[in-house]
Structure 1
Amino acid sequence: MPEVMFNGPAGRIEGRFHPSTVRGAPIAIILHPHPQFGGTMNNQIVYNLYYAFAERGFAVLRFNFRGVGRSQGSFDHGQGELSDAAAALDWAQSVNPEARACWIAGISFGSWIGMQLLMRRPEIEGFISIAPPANRFDFSFLAPCPSSGLFVHGDQDRVAPLKEVTALIEKLKTQKGILIEHAVIPGANHFFENRVEPLIEEVGIYLDRRLGNPPRLPTPTRSDVAEKR
């Protein structure tokens, strides 16, 4: 799992990159939760999503937003972080010029950034949006949502209540030409404490269905220690 540093709009960005052994493999970009509330690329959900995509043949990049870890710059309330995500996708495409498609996955704050990137980059053909805080951030820019994807939420989420997200999803489901799916994880709070395994299982089922049940590929030993948040 190579450590990488690449240029972003506020300076160098720190990341971890898993190259694919499959020529022309799709790219996946994983976006972490809110930087001011402990979110990093080593978040437990980010870490597991990273491998879920890698095991399905993707070239995968997770990275720290500006001001987190060794990434330069400082928190910019979303605008700068969106620029960081765009720079991450640019970098991943530069080292995978034959990539045929891209997916975006984000957790909480990262899901808000990811969905904005989705609106700006037509090559993104699928998304995973986990615990999107529809009550705290404006998601009205999804009009219409350009790609099919999966929203996942915990039924015990008190930070971003399920009813707020359900209203957003129901609105998106009325669009023609895309399929929006929604999974609810019983007993899970906003951080999916003690419920990460069923969360990743749900994501894996969705990916396999969208990708046509790809064969699992071996990945490096998961040696780094994931944080709980």
Structure 2
Amino acid sequence: MPEIIFPGPDGRIEGRYQKARADNAPIAMILHPHPQFGGTMNDKITYEMYHMFARRGFSVMRFNFRGVGKSEGEYDQGQGELSDAATALDYLQQMNPAAPFAWVAGFSFGAYVGMQLLMRRPEIVGFISISAAANLFDFSFLAPCPSSGVVIHGSEDKICPPSLTRDVMAKTRTQKGRRIEFDVIDGADHFFSKHEEQLLDKAAGYLDRRLQEPPEGHLFD
């Protein structure tokens, strides 16, 4: 799990990277919670999601958004962080030129950034979004959503009621053949305190099912 440092739009970016054994392995990127509320790439759920993808043969990266840890720059209301994520994906692709497709997973603020990223990058064929707060972030950019994915929410989320995010996702148009699933974990709060294992089981179950299906999207150019 080597540390990596690479050039970002606003200075260097700090990350962790694990390369798969196969040269043609898919790639995945994991995005952490809000930088202004203690979110880092070492957040427990971000860390566990990183290893979940690695165990399934992905080359995987997680990184600190600008202004977090050793990453340079300052918080930029999500727009700069989206640029960070796009640059990180470029770097991940450069290290894995034979990767056939990509996935993105994000937690809270990371889910918001990740779902914006997939709108811009057709190589992202799947996503896992955790605690996507539809009352804090505007998801109207999903018009239509080009990839299938799952949004996982806690029933006791006090930051954003699950019904609100469910309604937003239910009204979101998708491209033909794509589907956004919504899953609620009973008793879990926004941070899945004491429910991390259930969350990871849900995420892993969805990923395993999708990996058995024909992949969406196209090879990288």
TM range (shorter): over 0.9
Identity of aligned residues (%): 60
Query: 2:26·2:101 contact (CA, 8 Å) conserved in 1?
Result: yes
Letter in 2 for 1:120: R
Query: 1:28·1:104 contact (CA, 8 Å) conserved in 2?
Result: yes
Supply the distance in 2 between the matched residues of 1:89 and 1:175 (Cα, whole angstroms).
23
Question: What's 2:130 paired with?
Answer: 130
Question: What's 2:217 paired with?
Answer: none
Instruction: Give the superposition deviation at 1:22.
Output: 1.3
Q: Which runs of 5+ in 1 are unaligned?
A: 214-229
Letter in 2 for 1:139: F
- 1:125-156 deviation digits (Å, cap 9, x = unpaired): 00001000100111000010000001000000
Aligned pairs (5 A) from 1:117-196: 117-172=117-172, 176-196=176-196
Instruction: Give the superposition deviation at 1:173.
Output: 6.3
Runs of 4+ in structure 1 off by over 6 angstroms are: none
Query: Aligned to 2:76, what secondary structure does the other structure show?
Result: coil
Question: What's 1:19 paired with?
Answer: 19
Query: 2:142·2:173 contact (CA, 8 Å) conserved in 1?
Result: no
Question: What's 1:200 paired with?
Answer: 200
Aligned pairs (5 A) from 1:98-117: 98-117=98-117
- 1:78-108 deviation digits (Å, cap 9, x = unpaired): 0100000001000000100111000000010
Instruction: Give the superposition deviation at 1:203.
Output: 0.5
Kindly report the root-mean-square deviation, in angstroms, between the aligned alpha carbons of the 2 structures. 1.2
Supply the distance in 1 between the matched residues of 2:22 and 2:197 (Cα, whole angstroms).
27
Supply the distance in 1 between the matched residues of 2:144 and 2:174 (Cα, whole angstroms).
10
Q: Which runs of 5+ in 2 are unaligned?
A: 214-221
Query: 1:118·1:124 contact (CA, 8 Å) conserved in 2?
Result: yes
Query: 2:155·2:188 contact (CA, 8 Å) conserved in 1?
Result: yes
Aligned pairs (5 A) from 1:69-80: 69-80=69-80
Supply the distance in 1 between the matched residues of 2:173 and 2:154 (Cα, whole angstroms).
20
Query: 1:32·1:110 contact (CA, 8 Å) conserved in 2?
Result: yes
Instruction: Give the superposition deviation at 1:172.
Output: 2.6
Query: 1:173·1:180 contact (CA, 8 Å) conserved in 2?
Result: no
Considering Cα pairs closer than 8 Å and 6+ residues apart, tell me whether 1 or 2 has the greater RCO: 1
Question: What's 1:227 paired with?
Answer: none
Supply the distance in 1 between the matched residues of 2:114 and 2:174 (Cα, whole angstroms).
21
Instruction: Give the superposition deviation at 1:176.
Output: 3.5
Supply the distance in 2 between the matched residues of 1:62 and 1:148 (Cα, whole angstroms).
21
Aligned pairs (5 A) from 1:51-70: 51-70=51-70
Aligned pairs (5 A) from 1:22-33: 22-33=22-33
Letter in 2 for 1:64: N
Aligned residues: 213
TM-score using structure 1 length: 0.91
